[in-house]
Chain A
């Protein structure tokens, strides 16, 4: 579509056409193109070809998972109840989606209005990440149709997962509410936006509370397995703090990554307000991420010292742990610091990319690699990879579909000016 923008195509960013006629919902959905033209453009996009291949393989496998059961689709076993769906889909996606509450806090609570151009992208990244974490969870649950049981049917309020379930559900509604303004502008429903504006502080504070607790709770889930998770990754006292602080730089780094991808592939959809301020904002976010990174590193070291686990560092597991820390946190920390000091947004983007991989590495290690370290290591079934890839592709498709339509990367021109 970047090419289309070059030949005189103007994307919709207001309710009225040049001739003062109102854009219909259908026209908005087809980006102001005729359906035939729209589909022709879609078919010409090589990225979509990749998606079709993924779906061609992935959809049948996903359907078969529900026909033949988890035993067919995964390597989940009695020893390894959790596999790729949770370690990637839940434990990695959720921290990478912490950008929602971070940007809400920055802009609405601390009043840093200069971050406004990227706030909505942060919120959307949060909402979609959480939504797809639930989708991943649904694929992994033995009886997904009972998802609401912990809410209404049979309550186990003392369990950590109970807290996660309730908080993720509540936080999803909070994030939907926080994105109502974008939707209301796009649909031309100004009253909804006004209402949300009146309760935005409450929503933001709710977002902070819920995020603190459920990001931490995902870590606390592993405190149920003190003997199973390797001591270097396990910490009864600090587990939840590790997960919370790493979610802060994880979410911020994911926001940098997504904004970079938007800048590269969706520049036709971004406006000057976004593109012009992006380098500055990237460095601002990088600064926040580096502060969270150093906090995380210190608490990680404290946790090792607290349980006196220095001896483990000399073992093979210790080397792997050191690898995770160096690649996932120390290298990005140095790069972020360099980027901020030299005002180099490119380096910050590279650092953010590594940080995202570092978060994935840490969560996979906690949930899969260092789990059952005394027994044996499990490699997920290839069907797990196929399904996970397909679900993640769907996440990208939905993400892109919203970005090119709703005013996330651009500012909606209010009706009065047109």
Chain B
């Protein structure tokens, strides 16, 4: 791809198309900077306004992924009143790859429910931070994980801006990362939607090509502007995610981090990564040079000595 672009670019400039060349370069620079996902990758659009918090998706996920039985059954709605450390609401864990939380919005009168799981970023932070390459972004859009190579450094958990990956700390022999893989092995690979999407009785989630979902989301906002805030969460957040959300209330009121920015996480790391080849190339010459400078007196003395001894030889 890049080669062809470059050839086209050269041809254009050779032909004297200065304008074409200018646009060519900007376009190229842009495409090199941000990766907007595989062209036909799939995604899910979650419409929070439709969710009633029945937890059917949680149950479907548990069954599909063969997860252990939950502490409280899936029809027990008292989980919505649970608070964990720091007064925070429930989160994904090694036993649950997706959770629904309830948010009480005083001015709305009725609570808003929010389903939460791995968002399957276009440029996943977990993937870019993994030093054994355990993560893969598949062309279908899922971010999957290979437990066979995981060393257990847990940098992906540090890197994930959504606090998604969980770790099976309880296992002494084989602790691994546990997170939603968009049902890749059993469903997505075969073109089927994830189990939670299919199980939802309210059709909260729409499964489809990511670019189509953005169109659908925008259309929904346009046709019913009083129903939604004018934003698709996940369209641009941290470089775009496969799972996207529509909400009737501002996203920060229903547990979304709205300060993540649109840069993928790796862009914050690039400042450091850029200096690595520089140090590797320049340091050896620079510091051997310092060594030579620091020892120039010795070298001069040696030179003088050899000159002297040669002179002496000459005298003889």
Determine if A35 is an interface residue (Cβ-Cβ < 8 Å): no
Looking at the assembled complex, report how far the CB atom of A314 sits from the nearest CB atom of chain B, in whole angstroms: 20
- Contact check, B287 vs A109: say whether CB atoms are below 8 A apart: yes
Segment touching B, from A174-182, A188-196, A223-231, A265-273:
A223-231
Known: A66-B172, A161-B129. A146 touches B276 (CB 8 A): no
Which residues of the partner chain B approach A161 to less than 8 Å between Cβ atoms? 129-131, 153, 155
Determine if B2 is an interface residue (Cβ-Cβ < 8 Å): no
Which residues of the partner chain B approach A222 to less than 8 Å between Cβ atoms? 158
Among B150, B157, B265, B288, which residue has its beta carbon within 8 angstroms of that of A143?
Answer: B150
Which residues in chain A, 200-233, are within 8 Å of chain B measured between CB atoms? 201, 204-205, 208-209, 212-213, 216-217, 219-228
- Contact check, A146 vs B158: say whether CB atoms are below 8 A apart: no
Determine if A67 is an interface residue (Cβ-Cβ < 8 Å): yes
Segment touching A, from B26-34, B201-209, B290-298:
B290-298
- Contact check, A78 vs B151: say whether CB atoms are below 8 A apart: no
Segment touching B, from A18-26, A120-128, A148-156, A386-394:
A148-156
Among A69, A150, A213, A376, which residue has its beta carbon within 8 angstroms of that of B279?
Answer: A213
Determine if A406 is an interface residue (Cβ-Cβ < 8 Å): no
Determine if B256 is an interface residue (Cβ-Cβ < 8 Å): no
Determine if A309 is an interface residue (Cβ-Cβ < 8 Å): no
Which residues of the partner chain B approach A142 to less than 8 Å between Cβ atoms? 150-154, 167, 175-176
- Contact check, B169 vs A224: say whether CB atoms are below 8 A apart: no
Q: Mark B129-159, 1 if CB is under 8 A from A, else 0.
A: 1111110000000000010011111110111
Which residues of the partner chain A approach B87 to less than 8 Å between Cβ atoms? 376
- Contact check, A205 vs B153: say whether CB atoms are below 8 A apart: no
Give the B interface residue count (CB, 8 A).
61
- Contact check, A226 vs B167: say whether CB atoms are below 8 A apart: no
Determine if B283 is an interface residue (Cβ-Cβ < 8 Å): yes
Which residues in chain A, 109-159, are within 8 Å of chain B measured between CB atoms? 109-111, 141-144, 146-147, 149-150, 153-156, 158-159
Segment touching A, from B108-116, B243-251, B266-274:
B266-274
Determine if A290 is an interface residue (Cβ-Cβ < 8 Å): no
- Contact check, A146 vs B149: say whether CB atoms are below 8 A apart: yes
Known: A143-B174, A154-B133. A236 touches B276 (CB 8 A): no
Determine if A96 is an interface residue (Cβ-Cβ < 8 Å): no
Which residues in chain A, 342-378, are within 8 Å of chain B measured between CB atoms? 375-376, 378
Which residues in chain A, 62-107, are within 8 Å of chain B measured between CB atoms? 66-71, 74, 76-79, 81-82, 105
Which residues of the partner chain A approach B275 to less than 8 Å between Cβ atoms? 216, 240
Chain A interfacial positions (CB closer than 8 Å to B): 66-71, 74, 76-79, 81-82, 105, 108-111, 141-144, 146-147, 149-150, 153-156, 158-165, 201, 204-205, 208-209, 212-213, 216-217, 219-228, 236-237, 239-240, 375-376, 378
Rank and list the top 7 A-B pairs by shortest CB-CB distance, nearest first.
A142-B152, A376-B86, A71-B169, A69-B172, A81-B154, A220-B272, A156-B133
Q: Can you identify 8 A-B contacts, CB atoms within 8 angstroms?
A: A76-B169, A81-B157, A143-B174, A204-B287, A209-B284, A212-B279, A223-B269, A376-B87
Given contacts A110-B294, A154-B149, 11 further A-B contacts (CB under 8 A): A146-B152, A155-B132, A156-B130, A163-B276, A204-B287, A209-B284, A220-B269, A224-B265, A227-B259, A236-B271, A376-B85
